[in-house]
Amino acid sequence: MGFPEDFDSLWDDVEGCMEPLVEVRETYDAFEIYVDLPYVRGESIEVRFSEDALLVIAKCSKAIKFNKWGFSQKRTEYKFFRKLIKLSHKIDPKKATSSFKNGVLRIRVPKLQ
Amino acid sequence: MSEEVLEIVMKKDIKFDGPIAIEGFPDVGLAGTIATMHLIESLKLEEIAYIETSFLPPVMVVHNGELLHPVRIYGNERLIVLTSEIALPLTVLNPLVKKVVEWLKGLNVKMLIALTGFPVENRLEIEKPEVYAVVSKKEFSEMLSKYKIEVLQEGFISGLYALFLKECLKAGLPAIALVAQSFLKYPDPGAAAELLNSLNSLLSLNVDVKPLIENAEEIRLKARDLLRQTERVTSSAYRNVEGELPLMYR
């Protein structure tokens, strides 16, 4: 299954979507992915896997608006995060585990051997 | 070909009285930058100078309708705080740090304190980040031990604060770096709060760090772009050496 390409800016003022900051750590047999999700509660996170990527979508607990920022951003309500994370190796999503602490999502997914 | 420009432009005429300088330019987890911005806001410090340079991209920043330079200096007679709202490319670091240290020396600054973070893999598990110090003179270790701040005894340091310490050492300007355990890839208001707690002890300040914790989500959101910029300009260029054991370990 394929995913749409990510955008370059962290803020998409057309969709009201934000790209989260992500850290991917790789060991010999797994990936550990950390996704920074301020204003998100654990139950609002959806993770979809493909054979070598994952898509994180997380709804914010409230719409975020910066009334004085920019030309077009000030009219935008940012409501969710979305990030496509491509990995350098095929993964085994069935064995993935995750946790969410202090607004940081941690996903551990083994590589497909 | 145009000449390179790098100068510190004063906006206010201040009679400095042996001030302490604090540096919080963007670096690991933006701990120092978040800390200095909170310090500026809490102490209601005024902008006293800015850095004008052709080494940086043509960027200005607008706050409340006012046009400002992105690398600014705040303060009063006793305190000077340097901060930046844009990442500082590697090409600017050497000339910028030399210029700043030379300028501070000329103002008879008593000491420079650099605020920064160092990345720890298990930061997510750490409730209260620890703060360590690196000192330009061994004698400061005893003074810091009174405040229960552990001083690095062996190891490499790298990055902006290493450069500040090096230039301060050369210029004979006393310097300390306060370094908090921090996230590498995300803004870390918790690390910034611990840096300010240490600074509160050292300088007898009374900066309330609670807003940093209470507004952590907002800060993390607002600091994302600067963190990504900082990562882009610094990744792989330095930092790799930290955590390595020096050959002459004693």
Instruction: Write out chain B residues lying below 8 Å of A39, CB-based.
Output: 217, 221
DSSP H stretches of helix in B56-139: 90-106
B223: in domain: yes
Distance of CA A74 to the CA centre of its chain: 23
Whether B185 sits inside 8 A of A68 (CB atoms) is no
**Is B7 a member of any domain?**
no
CB-based contacts of A21: which residues, under 8 Å, 6+ apart? A10, A35, A36, B185, B186, B224, B227, B228
> Which residues of chain A have a CB within 8 Å of the CB of B216?
38, 103
Of A21, A39, A101, the CB nearest to B186: A21
A23: contact with B, CB 8 A cutoff: yes
- Ranges under pLDDT 50 in chain A: 1-7
SS3 (DSSP) at B16? coil
Q: Mean pLDDT across the stretch B38-53?
A: 97
Residues whose CB is less than 8 angstroms from the CB of residue B190 and which lie 6 or more positions away in sequence, other chains included: B128, B129, B212, B213, B216
From A34, which residue of chain B is nearest by alpha-carbon distance? B185
Q: Do B149 and B178 contact (CB within 8 A), yes or no? A: yes
Residue B248 belongs to some domain of the structure: no
| pLDDT score of B239 | 58
For residues B192 and B39, give the distance between their C-alpha atoms in angstroms, rounded to a whole number: 10
- Mean pLDDT of all residues in B46-54: 96
Is B3 among the domain residues? no
Question: Can you say whether the dihedral through the CA atoms of B139, B144, B150, B152 is positive or negative?
Answer: negative
B78, β-bridge pairs: none
Q: Quote the mean pLDDT of chain B.
A: 92
Answer whether A104 touches B (CB < 8 Å). Answer: yes
Tell me whether A96 touches chain B (CB under 8 Å): no
Residue pLDDT, tens place only, B113-168: 999 999 999 999 999 999 999 999 999 999 999 999 999 999 999 889 999 999 99
The alpha-carbon gap from A92 to the nearest alpha carbon of chain B, in Å, equals 24
Residue of A nearest to B183 (CA): A23
Its pTM surpasses 0.90: yes
Q: Which residues in chain A touch residue B227, judged by CB atoms under 8 angstroms apart?
A: 21
CA distance B119 to B121: 7
Question: To the nearest whole angstrom, how far is the Cα of A94 from the nearest Cα of chain B?
Answer: 25
User: How does pLDDT run across B155-212, given as a tens digit for each residue?
Assistant: 999 889 999 999 999 999 999 999 999 998 899 999 999 999 999 999 999 999 999 9
User: Above pLDDT 90, what percent of chain B?
Assistant: 80
Name, in order, each residue with C-beta under 8 angstroms of B221's C-beta and a sequence gap of 6 or more. A18, A38, A39, A64
Q: Quick one: pLDDT at residue B237?
A: 56
| Interface touch B224/A36, C-beta < 8 Å | yes
Contact residues on chain A for B224, CB-CB shorter than 8 A = 10, 21, 36
Kindly state whether B175 is in contact with chain A, defined as any CB-CB distance less than 8 angstroms: no
Domains of chain A: 11-110 (2.60.40.790)
d(C-alpha A98, C-alpha A113), whole Å: 20
pLDDT tens, residue by residue, B90-110: 889 999 999 999 999 999 999
If one counts the domains in chain B, the total is 1
Choose among B37, B75, B86, B121: nearest CA to B225. Answer: B86
Please indicate, yes or no, if residue B1 is contained in any of the structural domains. no
Where in the sequence is the domain holding B103, given as residue range(s)?
12-234
Strands B111-119 and B175-182: parallel
The answer to whether residue A77 neighbours chain B at the CB level (below 8 Å) is: no
Please answer yes or no on whether B124 and A34 come within 8 Å at the CB atom. Answer: yes
- Report how far residue A97's alpha carbon sits from residue B164's, in angstroms, rounded to the nearest whole number: 43
How far apart CA A40 and CA A22 sit, in angstroms, is 15
Q: Which two tokens stand for residue B4?
A: 């390179």
The pLDDT of B59-87, averaged and rounded, is: 95
Pairing type for strands B61-63 and A30-36 reads: unpaired
The enclosing domain of B156 has a CATH number of 3.40.50.10900
CB contact under 8 A, B124 and A10: no
Residues of B in contact with A21 (CB under 8 A): 185-186, 224, 227-228
In a domain, residue B244? The reply is no
Return all residues near B127 (Cβ < 8 A) that are at least 6 apart. none
Answer whether B82's CB lies under 8 Å from B25's CB. Answer: yes
Q: Do B124 and A39 touch (CB under 8 A)?
A: no
Q: How far is B169 from chain A (nearest CA, A)?
A: 35
* Distance of alpha carbon B199 from the chain centroid: 12
